[in-house]
Every structure is written in C-alpha cells, then in structure tokens.
Chain A
Amino acid sequence: MTQINRIAGGQIDRKSALKFTFDGKSYTGHDGDTLASALLANGVRLMGRSFKYHRPRGPLTAGSEEPNALVELRTGARQEPNTRATTAELFDGLTARSQNRIGSLKFDLMAINDRFSNFLTAGFYYKTFMWPAAFWEKIYEPIIRNAAGLGSLSKQDDPDIYDKGFLHCDLLVIGSGPSGLMAALTAGRAGSDVIIADEDFLLGGRLNSETHSVNDQSGADWVAATVAELASLPNVRIMPRTTILGAFDHGIFGALERTADHVAVPAAGKPRQVLWRIYTKHSILAAGATERPIAFDNNDRPGIMMASALRTYANRFGVTADRRVAVFTNNDDGHRTAADLHAKGVKIAAVVDVRPDAPRSLDYEVIQGEVINTKGRIGLTFADVRLADGSTRTLECGAMGVSGGWNPNVHLTSHHRGRPDWRDDIAAFVPAAELPQGMVVAGAAMGDFSTAGALRSGAQAAKSALGIKGRLPKMPQAEDAPVALKPFWYVDGTTRGWLDQQNDVTVKDVKLSHQEGFRSVEHLKRYTTLGMATDQGKTSNMGGLAIMAELTGKTIPETGTTIFRPPYTPVAMGALAGRSVGMEFHPTRLTPSHRFAEERGAVFVETGNWMRAQWFPIEGETHWRESVDREVIATRNSVGVCDVTTLGKVDVQGPDAAAFLNKVYCNGFAKLAVGKVRYGVMLREDGIAMDDGTAARLAEDHFVVTTTTANALPVYRHMEFVHQCLFPDMDVQMISTTEAWAQYAVAGPNSRKLLEKIVDQDISNDAFPFMACANITVCGGLRARLFRISFSGELAYEIAVPSQYGDAMIRKIMEAGAEFDVTPYGTEALGVMRIEKGHAVANELNGTTTAQNLGMGRMVSKKKDSIGSTLSERVGLNGTDDLRLVGIKPVNPADPAPAGGHLMNATGPVDATHDQGYVTSSAYSPSLGHQVALGFVKSGNNRYGEKMRLVSPLTNVEVDVEIVSAHFIDPEGERLRA
C-alpha cells in the first residue's frame, strides 16, 4: 500500500524506506517516523481495541500520553506488549500487532461487550461478581482477565541486557522544548554541569510540531542550532530518548534511556535500555503541557484525535490522519490545526468552536456549536454538530482534532505530595510553591504557553536555579499569543462520551459514581478506575474532575486532584532489574578451595552469596547420602578436611579488646588467657540469642572473633554499634577479615598426625591442647594461624593461611594426609557431625531462642554487664517449663525424625494447645545407624528417656521418638581432648 496520507514537509527522511508490518500486513515508512505516524501515512487509523468494551481505537495523541494505540512490538523472546505506537520509533523490519482482540482487529469478537455496556459501567466488578464468592477465582476472574486486558507476554527469557548507571550534575533539565533548551543553554554557557533529557528521539518539543518561527529561523532550525551549541559545550550532556521517570528525595531522579529500542536487535554486548540514577542539586521541569479532550458521545472513534496531535503529524511527520478534517475546540489553539492542515492542502470540513467570539477564517468555515455525536464503525466518517440555535448539522470528515485547552505537565512536581494550584486564566492546574527540593518549573509546564513565554521562562529558571548573576540575555523573537479559551469539558447531554479511553471510563460512569456517593476524587478514581491505567490519566483526569466538580457544585480546585506517582511512563521490569538477573542476581562468593572442589566434582550449595561444597561424590556413588555417609565415617575414623572460610572473622584489637568482648558476649572473656580460644554466645539486647562463635586471643590486645556465615555482616554491624554508640571511649579497633584468610577444619583422630607434617611448630597435646590457638608458620615459613577447636566432636583443628595461599594449602593438606586417606567433606557431612555432637546453628539460634533455651543459661554471666544480660533475666524468658534443646531419636531406628515436625506427648490430643516443642535439625547418623535430630521441648532437660510423638500433620508424619541428650556422640568430649 502506498502512503496515501503522506503530505508535504516534516522532519522525516523521505529518501529512506523502512519496511514494517502491522497485523501481518506490510507497509513502508520513513526514518523519523513513529509507528503511529507511519500507519496514519498508510491510511491506517484503527490500531487497537479498548480495554473493557473492545471498541475500535486509533491514536488520540502523538506522544507518551497516548491511551489508545497500544501495540505489541517484535516477535519471539523480544515480544513487547503495551507499547505506545505514538512513541515507538520506526525501524526497518519492525513487526507490530494490535492487541486485546479475539479474531481480527476489524471484527473483534469481544466487541459484543460494547452492546452490553449498560452492565459494564463503573463498579461493575464490585457489583456483579460478589456472589458466589468461590466463583471469583475460578470463573469470573479468568474470563475478565481474558476479555479485558492488554497485550501478551512472550513467556520467554528476555534476551537483552539492561544497564543501570549513575550520573551527577549541577542542573537537570527535563524536557527539550523552547523552555528546556533555553534553560540548558543559559546554564551551559555559565559553565554548570548540565544534563538535558527528553523522552523523544527528536529534541525540540512542540517547536517540531508547530509552524512558529524563532528569530528568522523555523522552530526546527532554531532547535538544531541550539542543540549544536549545547553539544559543543563539554559540560552539557544531551540525552534524547530518555524519560525522567520520577523525582525522588534530595535531588535524585530516575531516568530511562532507550538506547536500542529503535533498532531491531541491540548490538552485541550493548544494553537495550539504561536506567540512570541522576544526582543533581537543581532541576528545571520543562516538561511542557498536554492537550486535553472534550467529551461528547462516541468521541473515541479512530480518527478523532487531539488537535495538537494532528498538527504534530502534519508538521513534524508530513502526515494527515485523513484528507478531510474537522476541528472541535474551545480555544484559539485549535484553530492552528485547521490553518496548518489547510496550508498543506488538507480539506477542512469546518472548525466547530463553542465560543461565540471565535476567530473567523477566510479559508474554511468556522461554526459556533458543539459536536454531539459521531458515526463510523471502525473509523470516523461523520460528525453531528449542534449549532448555537439548537439546529443540527452533519459534517463529513475522516479525522477530527479536538482541543479543550492545555494541562501543564505537573507530574514530577507532585511526586513528593505537592498539590498544584488552579489558574483561572488558563483553566488549568500549575505547580504550586511546594516542589521537590531544588526544582524550578519553566515554560508550558508552568502555564507559559507561548513560545516567547517559554523561552523567557526557561532562561529565567536557569538563572534562578543556579544563582547566575546579571541580566537575561536577549531573547529570540517568537510568537507570544495569549491564551484565549472558554473552559468547556463535555457537551451537554453526553452519556457515552469517553473521558478515560485507556480504562474505558465515560461521562456516564462519573455521573453514576457521584450518584452512588463516591464523590471525593480519590473515591471517584478508584470506583470508576478513571486515571488508573498506565497513562495515569494524562488526558482524562481533568475532564473527570471537572464533571465531578459540576455535579457536587464545587469549583475544580475545591474538588482537588489525585496525585501522580512515579514512573511518569511505564517501565519494563527488565530495566528495573538491570544486570541483576539469573546467576548475576547477586554477587557470588567463592572460597579459596573452590577450584579444588570443582576438580573433585563437588556439588555446590548457595549459602548466602557463598558457593560451598555440599558433598564430594566419588566414582560409584549414585545418591548424595552415600557420599555424605562416607565423608562422616572417614572423618570420624581417620581425618577429614572442610573449607570453613565462610565463617565471619572480625579482627578485634586494642587495650580494651577483652573488655569490649565482655560486653558483646554474654559469657566472660576478660580472663581468657593468651593462646586460648573460647566459645561465646552473643545476645540481642532483648535477651534472645543472636549469634555464636569463638574468640581466639592471639595477644593481650588482639582477638580473632568468628561468627556464623550468615551473620558475619550483622554481627560486625552490631559490634560497631556497641563500640561507637554505647562505649565510645573503649580503645578497641575492629575490621572484618572474613575473606583475608582461607580457613580449613581438619578433623578426626589422625588430624594431628596430618598437621604435624605441615605445621612448623610443636602441636602435641601438651604443647597445643584443646582450645589452644597460635600464630604459627607452615611448610617452612608461611605465616598461618592454628586453632584447636572442634565442630565435629573429633580431635580437630582449624588452620588459616592468607587467602592467596588457600588453594595451595588444601592441596598440601590432601598430599600430607594421603597416608591417612584424608577425605574432603562438605556442608552436609559438617551438618551431620554437628547434629551428632549437639552443636546449635541458625536452626536453633532462630531468633526466638534464649541461651536458656539452648541449654547455655549458665553461660550468661551475672557478674558483669553484657548486651542482653539484663533482659535475659526477665520472668517471661525464665519459666519452669521453658523449651530446652534436646536430642530426639526415633524409637524404631528405621523411622525418620523430620525437622519442622512438632512434638506431642505419648498420648493425648495432637493440637497446638498440647504442643510440647518442635524439631529444628535432623540428619541420618551413619555413626549410629539411625536418624538423629535436635529440637526444643518444654522442660526438655528433665525429660530424657521420655517417649513422645513427633508429628507433622501436613505431611502425614507421626513417629514415636525418645527424648535424649543432644550429645549423641562422645558426650564426655574425650575425643576432642585426645
């Protein structure tokens, strides 16, 4: 098809021929076109179906405020729903489809909804689908979701990259129309760091859409010259295709730059979009204004558009929506559309103006009257006009420009709750004094609608924002027409006149809302869904508000406004996620033995950000239990090695280091001898256990504290809090060294023999007894640390070397341990052995348990002050039937004892009232040949030997168990002292 509605002029490259398809049909457009302008050029007005009634719709606007022309772009994984055809930049090969239709766009089967519109009015969902309640989820909602809706998702992973970036400037100029350009120029010439951003791919704002000249240049030429000067300034960054989405606290703005939406596929490695976080001291909102419609019956037919949009299509794109166009206006601005189109040879059916004193024209007819209805099933064909004398007349036209005046784009000024002020002279809201910090508003966004006014106010805004001294530079000459308008919101007698075309809200719906008592604007919005679509009611809110004001007998400012919220236009989730997707969702932490573990075929588990070896399968093992059982047995019989680098390490130094640890641990550390390690429990101030670990005293003024893997950061933060906020004069210094040292647990009866081959010093039981620690050297001189501590319950050590030697160290341990069949073990075996030994971990320190619950109540020193010591003595935490940590074993060794199950008395009811406790950890013990579990039972320390039932009603488990000591293995601790 040829471009039958392409007319002269415009900023398009007519030499280019971009092929694209819409609903499978091929068309051609030009560089500089949007999808909407190219479709209109090809005579396509119908671009979609409405949300609820499936009415045929075409574009209403030529910009991002578009409620109607939402389409699906691209195919396959890049399929993107709900894109505005009015902003989608045309490129060669673009594939677009209409959406929200069943069948073809012209014969949408769901258009039947329109016939039943009486049943689908405001509040329809609330009223109709209330009963029976169960029907909602299963029947009503799926049907409604299918019928009322938007585009569809590809359901494939997005193949594109999205970046997040950070920019800093002195001044952010939002919008590049005359006021924005003038502001950027003024600030840029003064040497400030300026960013000027515009959502459009072509800078210049309305100057591209009007025929006004600036000085003796065309608007577009002045824009080009100004942009060229800005581009030459190193302190100015020009960002087209960049939407400022939101104004956040203290001069932070979110901006979405569409770096590759205008090409079929982004270049390899390049992002499709960049979400920028812009930090600026000052901002100038020069976002322009949005023209608002007038409501009349059937005002939503394809071809009926904003008058300014028709001008944009004609002047910027060289396109007319039809060869015969009417205009309906309440202000002088609407007449420009007729004049501009007439000048380009488009037939003007008539200009219908509601005012008696409308300007006349020699070129076309101007009628005083109102459009009361339209015809045309899938596009405008005729418009009925009621004349001032009450008679009616029918105009033949394929397009109509409607102008109800302009609304300043105040959106970003209300992101901090700012409410706009009403101005009677322009019948519109403008930003009030209460603005986001550092913001100044200029141009049409402030109600300065003339070109000269915008230029002047842009320059003034830059001066006042940045405190630039001196007089304003000489302003370019430009039109300075005053606003001439009669407020007029809807034609009397209108019922099915659309206010919100995206959510299908009519004048009748607003009246119904009022009738049913929803009269505040916030209620009106929620009851009718007016302004709740993805366009946030940019073209519809004012109309609804004005009608509600009229119905309630209040003025518009008394009626009030709803609040615009970020984002200004919709944002793809991919852009918000940035690069934090898939494996890069969060950073990964690798232990120093990672490569060694990979070589051994380890199965890894994510613990926090760490990747830890879970077990090391060997040839012939088909089930993880086989590997884990083998690792446990090998460790308990000879020696095993496990990477424990992930435990948090905090280096604590200073003369008051011991006194400080006395504060953060509930047990005493002041008297710990140099060269010794002690187990410690940290409480929260409320007496609940926070974390446990060890502190090793390497010198009088030097401790190394370990924390659990997950709590490394919170514990460090807590320790800094205790120091800086509670005991600021303690002479203690802390720094995290978690990653600085590679640390390995070497456990099992042969661990000493193994380490004796590596460690340069004497580590006999006498020289280096249980709970000893020291700075040592290994392998003939490498600095290292050795701790004789045991998590497994075996004779065991932890040896630490600087991380860069961690890989060499594990290999050295394996080499030295070959004669003992040293076995690397993972977190599962580690877990099995600690359960067998009755050591608590996060399962037990679960944020509800006290030292008392954990069986460590006596550890809480009463002779000193420590965090949590006072509140741990509260009556409520010290009842006689408190939970106590116990061991649990199944009576029948073949039975499971699953974690998460609850414990009930041997007889009696099974319910929450009779709950005796719960199981926190469970594992199969290869050493004992049955499951072992840890858990909490009321007065558990007095119930050893008692039979109970372990139940899990959700998983149909009921097992007879026996309560035992938590120390299943070596309760006297002989092994670890050997």
Chain B
Amino acid sequence: MHDLKPTTALGGAKPRVDTIGALTITENIGVALASVAARLNGEKKTAQVLKKLLGDVPGPGRAQLHDPEAGFWMGPNQWMIGAPMVTHELLADQLKDSLGDAASVTEQSGGWVVFDVVGPNMIDAMERICPAPIRRMVAGDAQRTTIHHLSCFVIRRDADDHVRVIGPRASAGSLHHALAGAAHSVA
C-alpha cells in the first residue's frame, strides 16, 4: 500500500460543500471514472458487457443511473462509466478485464471534477450558466454542454432538484465559481 494522499479537485483534503440560499453545491470526490470506446466489431460485446454492468446501454444524450456502476453516453460507441471510488479505484482495469479487445478503456478519474447541485431552485440557477434545456431534461438525461467556457457533462439525477455537473478538473475552481455565482443570482 502506498502512503500518497489524494487531494480534491478544488485542492483541499476534504470535499467542499457550499450552501447558498436554498442551493447546495457539493464537490463529490467519491466517483471513479473510466471511458469505454467500442472497437470495430467489438460493439456487440461492449454492449453486452455494459448491459450486464449497468442494466442497459445508454443512448445519445442519456445516462444509466445505476448502482454501483453507472454510465452515460459520450459519443458514438463511447461511454463514461462511473462507480464508487472506495470500491472501484481501479475501475479502468476492472472494465478492461471484462471487455478485453472489444473496447478501449481509459482511466478518467483524475480528469474531472464532479459537483452535485441540489436545491429547489436548481433549475433557475442552471439556466444562468448552462445552454442545455435543463428545465426540459428528465432524470437520466445527460448532455455535454458549455458552462463558463468549460466543456461539462450535465446529468439530471432521479431527484427533481438534483443535477450533477462533471467538468474538467484543472478548472474546478472556475467551474465552482460559476456555479456559486449562479446560485447567488437566484438565491
């Protein structure tokens, strides 16, 4: 076992939680991520593996909200898979073991920051920063969109007042600032 301590995307030892008015923005450090891209002629097997893992294979613009592994569509024949960090830190290896040569798997855990935005005015806040039709999206809708010039995934969760924003890790501070600014605007 190594003794290296991870830091959060915002740079702290512990995840940051901000409550602004009725909205809570939580840095979620518990998500391990890996991307899966089906290879030519590996589409069928990839779909089988993902279906077994997630319950279903999410199509364009959709996420499969599932435990412990969940996933969303990223591009043609490409998905991002997420799972709890505590049990799945080696998610990419685990996926590669199941998928073999059917798909290319890339570890993504360090590439992203995950924010959970929760509150009754979540939609009002997101409308201030996010071009995606957040009000019309339903649970399981997942869109890549631009928030404060940053390419982010926006995923509507099961709860009506909850959206998950997955953005580039190096800009976690800027993304957090944008989310907090929008929260203040509608507070």
Contacts and interface: CB of A to CB of B under 8 A. Distances in A.
Interface in A783-814: 783, 801-809, 812
A610 B170 contact: yes
B73 to A, nearest CB: 14
Leading 10 A-B pairs by shortest Cβ distance: A803-B110, A740-B111, A269-B184, A653-B104, A587-B174, A733-B37, A808-B4, A804-B6, A802-B110, A589-B170
B173 A809 contact: no
Interface of A: 161, 163-168, 269-271, 274, 277, 279, 579-580, 584, 586-592, 594-595, 609-610, 645, 651, 653-655, 701-702, 729, 731, 733, 735-742, 777-783, 801-809, 812
A803 B169 contact: yes
Contacts of B184: 269-270
Interface stretch (B53-61, B64-72, B123-131): B123-131
A781 B3 CA distance: 9
B110 A655 contact: no
A740 B104 contact: no
Contacts of A802: 107, 109-110
B121 interface: no
A809 B4 contact: yes
Given A161-B181, A739-B111, A780-B2, A590 B40 contact: no
A786 to B, nearest CB: 15
Nearest to A803: B110
Q: Which of A163, A733, A738 has the most CB of B within 10 A?
A: A733
Nearest to B36: A733
A587 B149 CA distance: 7
B11 interface: yes
Interface string B126-166: 01111111011000000000001110000000000000000
Contact of B11 (A269, A595, A741, A777): A595
18 contacts: A164-B129, A168-B136, A587-B174, A587-B175, A589-B171, A590-B170, A590-B173, A595-B7, A610-B170, A651-B106, A731-B39, A736-B111, A741-B110, A779-B4, A802-B110, A803-B170, A804-B6, A805-B4
Given A168-B136, A584-B174, A780-B2, A655 B39 contact: yes
Contacts, number: 157
Contacts of B87: none
Nearest to B12: A595
Nearest to B11: A595
B134 to A, nearest CB: 8
Contacts of A738: 111, 170
Interface in B14-43: 29, 35, 37, 39-40
A779 B3 contact: yes
Nearest to B33: A740
B127 A166 contact: yes
Interface string B68-109: 000000000010000000000010000000000101111111
A286 B95 CA distance: 57
Given A270-B185, A740-B111, A782-B2, A587 B133 contact: no
B52 interface: no
Given A165-B127, A654-B104, A812-B4, A804 B35 contact: no
Contacts of B127: 165-167
Interface of B: 1-9, 11, 29, 35, 37, 39-40, 78, 90, 101, 103-112, 127-133, 135-136, 148-150, 168-175, 177-178, 181-182, 184-185, 187
A807 B10 CA distance: 12
Contacts of A736: 111
A777 B111 CA distance: 19
B3 A780 contact: yes
Nearest to B3: A779
A588 B4 contact: no
Contacts of B135: 168
B185 A587 contact: no
Nearest to A724: B76
Contact of A807 (B7, B107, B130, B133): B7
Given A654-B39, A735-B37, A803-B169, A740 B107 contact: yes
A777 B1 CA distance: 10
A274 B185 CA distance: 10
A737 B37 CA distance: 14
A610 B173 CA distance: 12
Nearest to A595: B11
A274 B186 CA distance: 12
Nearest to A587: B174
Q: Which of A277, A584, A591, A742 has the most CB of B within 10 A?
A: A584
B2 A584 contact: no
Contact of A590 (B11, B78, B148): B11
A781 B2 contact: yes
Contacts of A780: 1-3
Given A595-B11, A737-B107, 8 more contacts: A166-B127, A584-B148, A587-B150, A587-B171, A588-B174, A655-B39, A802-B109, A808-B6
A282 B107 CA distance: 44
A165 B128 contact: yes
Nearest to A598: B11
A347 B6 CA distance: 82
Contacts of B78: 733, 735
A57 B130 CA distance: 44
A653 B174 contact: no
B150 A804 contact: no
Q: Which of B4, B109, B129 has the most CB of A within 10 A?
A: B4
A167 B174 CA distance: 23
A809 B133 CA distance: 41
Contacts of B5: 805, 808
Nearest to B132: A166
B108 A740 contact: yes
A742 to B, nearest CB: 7
Q: Which of B29, B37, B106 has the most CB of A within 10 A?
A: B106
Contacts of B107: 737, 740, 802
A801 B172 CA distance: 19
A258 to B, nearest CB: 14
Contacts of A807: 7, 11
Contact of B131 (A277, A729, A803): A277
A908 B77 CA distance: 64
Q: Which of B132, B136, B170 has the most CB of A within 10 A?
A: B170
Contacts of B103: 733
B2 A778 contact: yes
Contacts of A167: 127
A456 to B, nearest CB: 32
Contacts of B131: 166, 277
Nearest to A269: B184
Contacts of A271: 185
Contacts of B29: 804
B108 A737 contact: yes
A735 B106 contact: yes
A737 B174 CA distance: 19
Nearest to A168: B133
Q: Which of B9, B105, B150, B171 has the most CB of A within 10 A?
A: B171
A538 to B, nearest CB: 31
B104 A579 contact: no
A780 B3 CA distance: 8
B4 A739 contact: no
B150 to A, nearest CB: 5
Contacts of B168: 589, 739
A586 B149 contact: yes
A588 B169 CA distance: 11
Contacts of B8: 804
Contacts of A164: 128-129
A206 B130 CA distance: 36
A215 to B, nearest CB: 34
A741 B148 CA distance: 23
A587 B25 CA distance: 19
